[in-house]
Structure 1
Amino acid sequence: MTTVLQRIAAQLSSRKHFSETSIERAIDAVADTFGCMIAGAGDPAVTGVTTAFASEIAGGGTAWLVAGGGAPTSIAALVNGTAAHALDFDDNFHPARAHASAVLVPALLATVTAGRPVSGGAFLGAYLAGLDAQAAVGFGVNPSHYNRGWHGTATVGAIGAAAGVAELLGAGEEETAQAMSLAASLACGPKGQFGTLAKPLHAGIAARNAVEAARLAIAGIRGRLDILERPQGFLDLFGGDDPRAWTDLRPEPDHIIERRGLVTKRHPCCASTHRAIDALLELKRDYGLTADDIVSIDTKVGVSAFRNLAYAEPADEMQARFSMQYCLATAFLKGSVSLGDFTRSAVSRANVRMLAKRITMESYSADEERGNERLPHIVTVRLSDGTTLHRQRLHAKGSVQDPLSAQERREKFEDCLKWGNRQPGCDLYARLRRLTEAADLWTELYMANHSRKAELLAGPQAI
């Protein structure tokens, strides 16, 4: 009997061509992730990882590090994955309940080394394979898996990314399925770590696990190919209270990125806050509201979002990213939420703290959520003149239903460069947009630019 992993591997193998829409959205995701990696390179989480593995990094390696230098492939995936997720500005992928690209892009980059030509087209194909695999694994366990408290980035993300890495390394169907099986033995990550440095580390560990699982599978290490569905397997142990399993999983003619897409983050904080932020900013704009008008701001969100946002009075910038009260107060007072709002000094601003005390959050009940894949997040604003305003959002800005414009994507990338102390206006973004033209990514991204004018990834020390 064909196992779930074999079905997924066969589906990936059968997809030889991708539509223009799929390629375009994959390029968007890769470029966005590079920006997030650069912005996060100096974050304490990344500094901690590079310090912990300083001796390995000092020895050099063939894989590029966003924090500078080179390292062995596993260490590079760990560092770059942590950097990609450090500021919680990287994309979300709803089918996997994961920060898909923060795992996939660093894992794939770790295999791009000198002497092993990898074209931009092959890289994008492997990215799309890994994304498809993440969606397929998530199909059987989410949202129950995520609601139970598992961080899908670290679990589903790692298993799916292992398939993408296997694809880029030239693995066949059997080896790809085995890579996912081995990654299932490595997958872990409790959402109870949200608001700590361990949270971005989850993405780095998942990227590392994906690389190692793929390499082990290609080297001949074997696990059970029914590990997702068998007793004491992934579904049994990680599925949560009400998983649907993979009985109804069917191959689709179009790629998941066309049907569902990714959410490119507009705000550098937990995605569980984004729909409420967007709704509140719309109310402020439409009614010309000021802080003096506000008696209270009440929000209603999904159960998982409510559990994610555990810090009503955040003590530091990490906790602030997981505080509905802080994020909404900041957005209302400033008209936006930016990277600069998540520093130790910014979190202590008196005006933000005062408004945050007027903000509450509740969740839908389990009965309300049952049978609904997605419910809108609702914002209710009560004004000093007695007026009550309501606004709800089913999808956040940056989703395929309400996408960022090309200009907004470019501006976000430039903001990430500035936050990472890189020269704005360099041609890195333009080069990333031309990934399909690259015959050898190592040459294109790491070795080709010997002039200073573009300040691209000229070598390990350039970024």
Structure 2
Amino acid sequence: MATILRKIAEQVLSRTTFSDLAMERARDAAVDTIGCMIAGRNDESVAGLTRAFGREIARGGEARLVTGGSASSSLAALINATAAHALDFDDNFHPARAHASAVLVPALLAVLTNGEVVSGRRFLEAYLAGLEAQAAVGFGVNPSHYNRGWHATATVGSIGAAAGVARLLGAGKEAIATAMSLATSLACGPKGQFGTTAKPLHAGIAARNAVDAARMALAGMSGRPDILERRQGFLDLFGGDEANGWEGLTFGETHIIESRGLVTKRHPCCASTHRAIDALLDMKQEHALAAEDIFRIETKVGISAARNLAYPEPTDEMQARFSMQYCLAAAFLKGSLSLSDFTRQEIDRPEIRELMPRIEMQAYSAEEEKGVERLPHIVTVTMRSGHVYSKSRLHAKGSVEAPMSGQEREVKFMDCLRWANGHASKGAFQRLGALAELETLSHDNAFWNLISDGPHPERTSP
């Protein structure tokens, strides 16, 4: 029977050739995620996991940890994916409404054990399979699923990533469909956790679930192949009132990474702030705006974005990443945002706190959003002189419509390495850029040494 999961599984197996553009974008996404994973390895969310599972880590295992040492593939996926998402600097994937790569890349890395010989190209092909599966699952439930309050990174991301892991492990169509079915039973993650360490944990849980589901499927566990669309299945329980289902699901000749692409983050904070930040920085440059001359800054964003940004007066660095007021104020005053702007010391800077109360946020109405996939975010600046400036952004910097240059990607990667180690080598970025040409990615070769070796100083906020 042609269930949705079997349709997706057949698609990810039948797509055996990929364009140069698809491979290039997959490589860029993997490198960007590795940078974010390195940067996040000292975060409190990761430290909490290493404390919680210290005994298992001490015993070691077949999969490497970005924090150093090794553990089981399941635990490695949990810790490494949490690190990748810890600083909210990892990419976004609109078709799934998910942080796709923060789940996929660590999950795939976790199964690169001593017994697996995988080339860089095969790794990227599995990444592309998992990405296409995430998009297909998201097609049937989003944006209703996401707007209802589910963190699609942990739900849609887990199900789609299971397909990528299963493909990397050599699974056939039925095993891939079963892996996704089992991952559906593991899917979880409420967006109400945003602003806490549970939020990056969602990516870790999704990666762990993907690894576990793929391995269980290959070991003979079973799950319903129609669990997405059947009664009391994923759509029924998780879809929300306006989910369309998969009746219109089709797969294009070109891969989804070519037609839709990913959004590489320019700013290390919730993506719901990014278009507003970009619009405000554009206006600052165009009109030579000064903070002392501003009477009010107003933003209009999507409903889900407004709900995500729940901290108008953040008290710690995690809350600051989910505060429109903080992100706009800090970006305007500094001209950009970097990882160093999200520490306890920075969020209490008097000049930022003085500007924040002048920043307001409102959301589109449900009627305005109805039937529209994407609306622009609008920023309006009213000056004390009475002049009013306004700008809208439909796409953030880092999207395929406004891409980051290779140099900008490198600058971001260096920022990640400096945050983790206090130093950065351009050679690391260049060597990872040859990922597709590497003959083997294994548990103990130079590729993993590049990711996990080096000093890991405790990073605590002042």
CA distance in 2, matches of 1:422, 1:36: 15
8 Å Cα contact 1:108-1:127 kept in structure 2? yes
The 1:15/1:140 distance shift into structure 2, 3 A limit, reads same
> Which amino acid in 2 is paired with 1:447?
N
Residues 186-230 of structure 1, C-alpha deviation per residue, up to 9 Å, x if partnerless? 000000000000000000000000000000000000010100000
> Which amino acid in 2 is paired with 1:456?
L
Partner in structure 2 of residue 182 of structure 1: 182
Q: How does 1:61-140 map to 2 (within 5 A)?
A: 61-140=61-140
Partner in structure 2 of residue 297 of structure 1: 297
8 Å Cα contact 2:228-2:235 kept in structure 1? yes
Q: Displacement, 1:350?
A: 1.2
CA distance in 1, matches of 2:7, 2:254: 16
CA distance in 1, matches of 2:422, 2:132: 33
Partner in structure 2 of residue 34 of structure 1: 34
Q: How does 1:335-350 map to 2 (within 5 A)?
A: 335-350=335-350
CA distance in 1, matches of 2:376, 2:168: 38
Residues 270-304 of structure 1, C-alpha deviation per residue, up to 9 Å, x if partnerless? 00000000000000000000001100000000000
Gaps of 5+ in 2: 457-462
CA distance in 1, matches of 2:422, 2:64: 17
Partner in structure 1 of residue 358 of structure 2: 358
Task: Extract structure 1 runs of 4+ deviating beyond 4 A.
Answer: 459-463
Partner in structure 1 of residue 230 of structure 2: 230
CA distance in 2, matches of 1:442, 1:429: 19
Partner in structure 2 of residue 333 of structure 1: 333
CA distance in 2, matches of 1:315, 1:283: 28
CA distance in 2, matches of 1:59, 1:213: 23
Taking structure 1 as the reference length, the TM-score comes to: 0.97
Q: How does 1:131-280 map to 2 (within 5 A)?
A: 131-280=131-280
The 1:460/1:329 distance shift into structure 2, 3 A limit, reads closer
CA distance in 2, matches of 1:449, 1:99: 24
CA distance in 2, matches of 1:296, 1:305: 20
8 Å Cα contact 1:104-1:164 kept in structure 2? yes
CA distance in 2, matches of 1:228, 1:354: 49
CA distance in 2, matches of 1:333, 1:194: 25
Residues 209-267 of structure 1, C-alpha deviation per residue, up to 9 Å, x if partnerless? 00000000000000101000001000000001200100000121110000000000000
Greater displacement, 424-433 / 47-56: 424-433
Instruction: Please tell me whether residue 456 in structure 1 is matched to residue 413 in structure 2.
Output: no
Partner in structure 1 of residue 445 of structure 2: 447
> Which amino acid in 2 is paired with 1:117?
V
Query: What SS does the aligned partner of 1:36 have?
Result: helix
8 Å Cα contact 1:427-1:456 kept in structure 2? no
Task: Report percent identity of matched pairs.
Answer: 66
> Which amino acid in 2 is paired with 1:210?
A
Instruction: Please tell me whether residue 50 in structure 1 is matched to residue 61 in structure 2.
Output: no
CA distance in 2, matches of 1:316, 1:133: 36
Partner in structure 2 of residue 369 of structure 1: 369
Query: What SS does the aligned partner of 2:252 have?
Result: coil
> Which amino acid in 2 is paired with 1:108?
L
Q: How does 1:13-24 map to 2 (within 5 A)?
A: 13-24=13-24
Partner in structure 1 of residue 382 of structure 2: 382
The 1:55/1:300 distance shift into structure 2, 3 A limit, reads same
8 Å Cα contact 2:378-2:393 kept in structure 1? yes
CA distance in 2, matches of 1:239, 1:161: 19
Residues 95-132 of structure 1, C-alpha deviation per residue, up to 9 Å, x if partnerless? 00000000000000000112321100110000000000
> Which amino acid in 2 is paired with 1:273?
T
Gaps of 5+ in 1: none
> Which amino acid in 1 is paired with 2:409?
R
Residues 54-79 of structure 1, C-alpha deviation per residue, up to 9 Å, x if partnerless? 00000011101001101110010000
Q: Displacement, 1:422?
A: 5.4
Q: Displacement, 1:146?
A: 0.2
CA distance in 2, matches of 1:197, 1:115: 33
Query: What SS does the aligned partner of 1:66 have?
Result: coil
8 Å Cα contact 2:294-2:381 kept in structure 1? yes
8 Å Cα contact 1:65-1:460 kept in structure 2? no
Residues 14-58 of structure 1, C-alpha deviation per residue, up to 9 Å, x if partnerless? 100000000000000000000000000000000000110000000
The 1:218/1:289 distance shift into structure 2, 3 A limit, reads same
Query: What SS does the aligned partner of 1:379 have?
Result: strand
Q: Displacement, 1:308?
A: 0.2
CA distance in 2, matches of 1:415, 1:132: 30
8 Å Cα contact 1:151-1:191 kept in structure 2? yes
8 Å Cα contact 1:6-1:225 kept in structure 2? yes
Query: What SS does the aligned partner of 1:430 have?
Result: helix
CA distance in 1, matches of 2:438, 2:333: 44
CA distance in 1, matches of 2:147, 2:124: 31
Residues 357-407 of structure 1, C-alpha deviation per residue, up to 9 Å, x if partnerless? 000000000000001000000000000111011000000000000000000
> Which amino acid in 2 is paired with 1:55?
R
Residues 136-180 of structure 1, C-alpha deviation per residue, up to 9 Å, x if partnerless? 000000000000000010000000000000000000000000000
Query: What SS does the aligned partner of 2:372 have?
Result: coil
CA distance in 2, matches of 1:194, 1:285: 32
CA distance in 2, matches of 1:195, 1:186: 23
8 Å Cα contact 1:21-1:258 kept in structure 2? yes
Backbone CA RMSD of aligned residues: 1.3
Q: Displacement, 1:427?
A: 2.4
Query: What SS does the aligned partner of 1:441 have?
Result: coil
CA distance in 2, matches of 1:114, 1:418: 30
Partner in structure 1 of residue 433 of structure 2: 433
Q: Displacement, 1:447?
A: 2.2
> Which amino acid in 1 is paired with 2:290?
T
8 Å Cα contact 2:441-2:447 kept in structure 1? no
8 Å Cα contact 1:268-1:321 kept in structure 2? yes
8 Å Cα contact 1:61-1:70 kept in structure 2? yes
8 Å Cα contact 1:291-1:333 kept in structure 2? yes
CA distance in 1, matches of 2:47, 2:424: 23
